[in-house]
Amino acid sequence: MSATPHALVDLDLAPPVDGEATLTHDATFESWDFAFSLARDTINVAIHGLNGLGAGLPTLPEGSLEDLVVAPLTGDYGAIRGNGLALHEVDDALGVIGLNTASVARSVASEWHGLAGAACSARLAGASAGVAAVGELLGHGSVLFDGMARVSEQLGVRVEKLVVQVGTALARLVRKVATRFAGPAAWAALGLEIAQKGWGVVQDVIDDVEMVYDGIMNFLDLKADAIAWAEDCEHRLGVLAELPRRLQEALS
């Protein structure tokens, strides 16, 4: 009956600390997220009114920009980078352990003669090689996490820039709606003007609505690209599935 192994010390490992941002982010991003929801609702009221006159415009999607595109697209690059840093640290630690174990194996071989000494030295040398193999695997994993964090943050910066572009168009639309479509009398006058002069009288509004809509569709296209990227990352991280087996071999 084999004895159950016990840890020599109690381990209390905290989750990895999030990594820091490494790219320059848009300073206006957070303010636009809240402004988008308010502006979007105002614009949709105007769109419903124009559609009541026969414009046939699409309404802007519900949900904040954070809900729609930012979180699904970027992932948590700070947590991803933190995992990469943790793997780097473990890789470095295992490297030191491997070197020390190999040094002990050499000392045992030179000082402890006979079959027992040879067996102990061989055991230590094998453990050193196993630890080195695990460290190499973790090194590959840390590189993968580093790359994932970099792409994740790059996606975030792209999204932030789109948020600002769409937000600028939204702010312009809100001003137009507030000055030209305020109240039933204004809508009645607008309907009459459209009937007499055509849609050209509100073409600037239509252009801005389409610009905002296209921008949001670009967000959704980026989301599809990000999903494909995440699936690729999942496949590449399959290399870490070898970690339990490698650890068992190193410690057996």
pLDDT one-digit tens code per residue, 12-69 = 667 777 777 778 777 777 777 777 788 888 888 888 888 888 888 898 888 777 677 6
Please count the other Cβ atoms lying within 10 Å of the Cβ belonging to residue 31.
Answer: 12
Residue 135 has pLDDT above 60, yes or no: yes
- Rounded Cα distance between 86 and 88, Å, is 5
Q: What's the rounded Cα separation, in Å, for the pair 60 and 220?
A: 13
**pLDDT level of residue 10 (50, 70, 90 thresholds):** low
234 vs 57 pLDDT, higher one: 57
Give 151 or 28, the one with higher predicted confidence.
151
Classify residue 199 by its DSSP letter: G
Distance CA 194, CA 178 (A): 18
When pLDDT is cut at 50, 70 and 90, the band that residue 247 belongs to is low
pLDDT reported for residue 4 = 52
Of residues 49, 18, 63, 80, the one with CA closest to residue 205? 49
Q: Six-digit token pair at 52?
A: 């009541």
Task: At 212, list the tokens.
Answer: 């905002």
Q: How far is CA 219 from the centre of its chain?
A: 14
To the nearest whole number, what is the mean pLDDT of the chain? 81
Residue 133 to residue 64: CA distance in whole angstroms: 46
- Whether the predicted pLDDT of 119 surpasses 80: yes
pLDDT over 60 at 73, yes or no: yes
Beta strand extents in the chain (DSSP E only): none
Hey, what are 1's tokens?
Answer: 């009956």
Q: Which residue has the tokens 């003669």?
A: 113
Dihedral angle, C-alpha 238, 240, 241, 242, nearest 10 °: 120
CA angle 15, 8, 98 (to 5 degrees): 75
Give the separation between CA 212 and CA 222, rounded to whole angstroms.
15
Six-digit token string for 227: 């999903």
Q: Which fold has domain 29-44+58-251?
A: Ferritin (1.20.1260)
Q: How confident is the model at residue 251 (pLDDT cuts 50, 70, 90)?
A: low
State the average pLDDT over residues 156-161.
84
At residue 120 the predicted structure's pLDDT band, cuts being 50, 70 and 90, is: very high
